[in-house]
Structure formats: structure tokens, C-alpha cells
Amino acid sequence: MIFNIQEILDFLPHRYPFLLVDRVVEFERAKRLVALKNVTINEPFFQGHFPGYPIMPGVLVVEAMAQAGGMIMMAEMEDRHSKLVVFTGIERAKFRRPVTPGDQLRIEVEVLSFRTRAGRIQGRATVDGKLACEAVLTCQVVPRQRPSRPDGAENADAVAMPSHSAAAAESTE
């Protein structure tokens, strides 16, 4: 199954400049997904990382893997528009080669474990068949609605973030 950018926007809440998945070229429900990210010199992070020697920040390569993994989880939820998939952990991250403008990043994610509210994936990002980055990522599903402050006032900066211990307990169920 292939997803174009409009279909990706239906699954992920991310938008420019933070949407890091351009196309899904393979998808096996609850198992595996392969996505592409076309890296261009127009990416805003290249202005400062690094002038004269542009390299895509490794944390954004990991974020691209997390977004691809989030699509797998979101595809299993009927109420996905009221949920977010957030990072709870990054393990064994290794960066093997730089990703530069003109590269096409191939992002492969495979589900290691999947629960209703948490997941664990193995991610690999390659360029021209060569490994650029790999990591094991854990995530949790949270409500998209922001929590209210204890004093009842609106809190525009609040985000429902899970505790790491809650995510660890969920992933071992």
C-alpha cells in the first residue's frame, strides 16, 4: 500500500517544517512501513547545521523514523484524530553516515511490540542502500487534547506527556 502526502497528513499531526515523511512506499498493517524523505537544501535546519557543510541533524533522522512508526500505530486507531503518538524512549541509536541535501532518506520501521497505548519499533534509515542511522524507539499514545491547569486557567504551553515509568510498564504488558 502506498500513501501520498495528502494521505500522510491524515495520519500525522506534523506540518511543515516538522513533517519528515514525504511518501509511504510499503505498508503492512501493524507490522512494517517504508517511507521516503526527500532532503533538500531548502530545509530550515540547514541554515545553521552547518553553514558551508550542511548535514541533516541526526535527531531529525530519528524523528523521521518515529513519524513513520507513528503512522503504523495511528493506522490501527479509529479515533486517531483525537490521539497523538509521542516518544518515550530511544535505544541503541547509531549514526553511520551523514545525510545531506539531495539525498533521499529511505526510512524502514518494523514493529517489535504493539499495544493499544504503547509501541516499540526498530528503525533504519538508509541513503542509496547505505545505512545512515538505526535505533529502537518506544512511544505512547496520549489524548491530543491539552490537559487543563490545576487552577482552571488555560495553559497554552501544556502538553500531555507520559512519564517514562508509565511507558515502560505499558511496553512490558
Which residues are known to be catalytic?
49
Cβ neighbours, 10 Å, residue 151: 6
Cell numbers for 61, please give them.
Answer: 533522522
Q: Is the peptide bond before 17 cis (omega within 30 degrees of 0)?
A: yes
* 61 close to 99: Cβ distance less than 8 angstroms: yes
Q: Using an 8 Å Cβ cutoff, are 151 and 158 in contact? A: no
The answer to whether 17 and 44 are in contact (CB under 8 A) is yes
In the chain, the N- to C-terminal Cα span, in Å, equals: 30
Tallying the residues shown for the chain, one arrives at 173
Amino acid letter, residue 10: D
Closest CA relative to residue 117, chosen from 162, 56, 154, 64: 162
Instruction: Read off the DSSP letter of residue 79.
Output: T
